[in-house]
Structures are given as C-alpha cells and as structure tokens.
Amino acid sequence: MTKIHTILILAGGDGDRFAPLKNKMRYRFNGMTVLQHVVSRVQEYAEQVVVVVGEHNKTLIKNDLSTYSVKYALQTKADGGMADAILSAEEYCTNDALILNANDLFDFSILPQLVEQTKNEVSQVGIVAKHITEYFPGGYVIFKDNKAVGLVEKPGPDKMPSNYTRLVADYFPDTKLYLSEIKKLSPSDDQCEKATTVLMEKKPATCFKYEGDWTTLKYSWHVLSMQEYALAKLATAAVAEGAKIHKTALIEGVVVIGKNVKIGAFSKINGPCYIGDNTVIGDHTLIRQSTLCDNVVVGSGCEVARSYLGESVMLHRNYVGDSVLGARTSMGAGAVTANYPFDKKTIRTPIKGRLIDSGNDKFGLIAGADVKIGVNSSTYPGVKLSSGTRILPGEVVTKDK
C-alpha cells in the first residue's frame, strides 16, 4: 500500500460529557494510554502522524508519546470543536489525509482497504460506518439508493436516517477540498459533518461498512466498555520482575501482573485482568475482569468486579462492582457500590441536566480523582462523584455530587 501522507489524530478536546473523569485519551488500558494504542497501530500506514493537542494537555500528551515519531498541532480554542482542531493542523494537510479520534479503538488494519476502495471509486471522501441496533449519540450516514450521500450529527433516536453510525475515520484524497468547505461554514457542533456532506452531495462517498469491534470514550462509563474491549485483547498471561504471589493465591485466566506486585494469601484473580506496577492485593480478596493501575492498594477482604481502579486507589474491605475510581480515590472499611437496580432496567444518569440511558443494567460508581468515601457508606447505581468529593461515614449516596 502507498502510505497515507498524513494521519491526523484529534486529541485537543476532553468533553464535559466525560465528567467527572478528565483527560480521557490518557486513560490506560493494558498498560498503554488510549492515544498510545491509536498511534502505535496506525503509524505504519502514514508518512507522518500529526496529533492535535490543547493547551491543557499538550505537555502530558507529548510526554506520553515521547518514544513515537509524531508531529503536533496546537488547538488554541478550548471550545473550538472538531472543525477548529482540523484547521489548526492545516499546514500538514497538503495531500491526502485520514482523520481519527484520539479516543476510538477498532481494527485499524482496515485502513488500507478504506484508502484503496476510496481511490478505486474516485470518491472525494471515504468513511467508515458501523451497523448498530441501539441509538448512539454520534454521526449517522444518510443513504440514497444504497449510496452514502450525507451525514447528520446526533439526530436523536427517533430521527436516525439509517442504522449506520459513522466512526471518525475519514479519508480525504485531496484534503484541501475538505478544508475549503469547512471554512465556508459558520462555526457549529456539526460543522465538519456539514462540510463532509457537501462533498458527498457532489459525489457519493465511499462507505466502508465495518463489521469488527469498536469502542469509544464519550461518557465516563465508557471506560468500562473500553476496558472490556482491551482486556479481551490480552493474549497471554505474564508476571513481571519482582512480583510476589502467595502460594495459596489462585490465578485463573489471562492475567498480566506488573513489577513488584504483591498478592496475599487465599486471594483469587479471575482473568482477564491487568494489574499495574507496585500494586498490593491483600489476603482473601477477589479480583474479577478488572484493571488495577500502578500503586493501587486493595486491602484484605475486598471484591473488585469488572471495575477500573486508577493510580494509587486505596480499598479496605469493600465491594466495588462495574465502577470507575479515579486516581487517589479511597474507600473506608465497609463502604460498597450498588451496581444493579431492583427494577433490572438499564441505568440512566444525568449529563448536563439531561438523563442519559447508559445502556447498562449493571453500573456502579464513577468517582473522579481524590474522592474520599467514609466507612460503611454506600452509593446507588449510576452515581457520579466529582473530583475531591467527601462522603461521610454511613452516608447513602442516591445522586451525583
């Protein structure tokens, strides 16, 4: 395959829909940030990889990508959106380009097929679409006579023009045409979709109908679905140097154990799991299908199920189920997360003043960084706690704080 001139990865925004969590493209899965996963998998297809960063994350992202051959563009408008991000990298868009989101993971090996098909059909744009059965708040493809003739952003579940949502994997043989259409439009949330639609109306787009797995970070609970996606990719178990596992501990399935990890007596780890460096797992503790980042302490008598524990989280005699705990969050003895409602319905949670259906019938707690949860307290399913929140001993948390 002839290499794509520029692969442009958009990492300048964060999105308030991801609250109370922050820096979503820096979340680590299987030991790598989301952005590291993207860059490492696509770099072979490009002459140059350009990452658009913002003022708030440029230093952190450059540190994360210090071992990769990457160029950078700075998005100066914090609320500029996707169009502003693309225009900020205009100096690199002199030939063909592929535009990707920094927080999407899918089978990137399809990219050469997308490029080849777009060139063979002499299209002005090639897009990737995924068939879905439930509404997802993203862009949707408009078809006419089985040809892709337009895009519409977040139409709502009752106005979907098709059951194909567009992944942000847009290929432009002549990127200058696309940029010129963006510049003609007034700034809006769907400025890029409108510009792409203009090109599609002139000539239907190449639409690659993708049938593989795909995961994204849009809302905070998507950390759990991305974790499931990533853990399923773990091929072999591994135990790093310095790890100490008690002879009575039981490890089943694919489990990756980092450096200097300590696993106590009569503990059980059910894979797939990823255990970060310097983590301590106490006696009589159960860990199932979860990620424990570096320097986590899970004290004796805990159960952690299908959950993501950020760096330096501390637990002691807790149940944590289908939850995400941000860095340095701690739970006092006896505190638990409820994760399954009595009505057995999917759990809805407020985002920007509007209830959003998470699509999950099991969904525990989302806690930002530095949250402190007192002894014998409990949280309702789907509760979100902002960074720095304090929960009193014995408190029952029924709504977001």
In this structure, are residues 386 and 368 in contact, taking their beta carbons and an 8 Å threshold?
yes
What are the distances in angstroms from CA 346 to CA 20, 154, 227, 328, 396? 20, 21, 19, 29, 21
| Segment 105-129 mean pLDDT | 96
pLDDT tens-digit profile of 274-314?
A: 999 999 999 999 999 999 999 999 999 999 999 999 999 99
Domain positions in the chain: 4-218, 230-397
Predicted confidence band of residue 64 (pLDDT cuts 50, 70, 90): very high
Q: With respect to CATH, is domain 4-218 assigned 3.40.50.300?
A: no
Mean residue pLDDT of the chain comes to 94
Burial bucket for residue 263 (CB in 10 Å: 0-12, 13-18, 19+)? buried
When pLDDT is cut at 50, 70 and 90, the band that residue 78 belongs to is low
Percent of the chain at pLDDT > 70 equals: 99
Domain 230-397 part of CATH 3.40.50.880 = no
Global pTM value: 0.93
Is pLDDT of 264 > 70?
yes
Question: Is residue 137 over pLDDT 70?
Answer: yes
Task: Give 231-254 pLDDT, tens digit per residue.
Answer: 999 999 999 999 999 999 999 999
pLDDT(345) > 70: yes
SS3 163: coil
Could you tell me the sign of the dihedral formed by the alpha carbons of 21, 306, 239, 301, in that order?
positive
- pLDDT of 395 reads 97
Rounded percentage of the chain residues whose pLDDT exceeds 90: 86
Who wins on pLDDT, 48 or 186? 48
Residue whose structure tokens are 């200058």? 176
In 3D space, the residue among 289, 155, 136 whose CA is nearest the CA of residue 216 turns out to be: 136
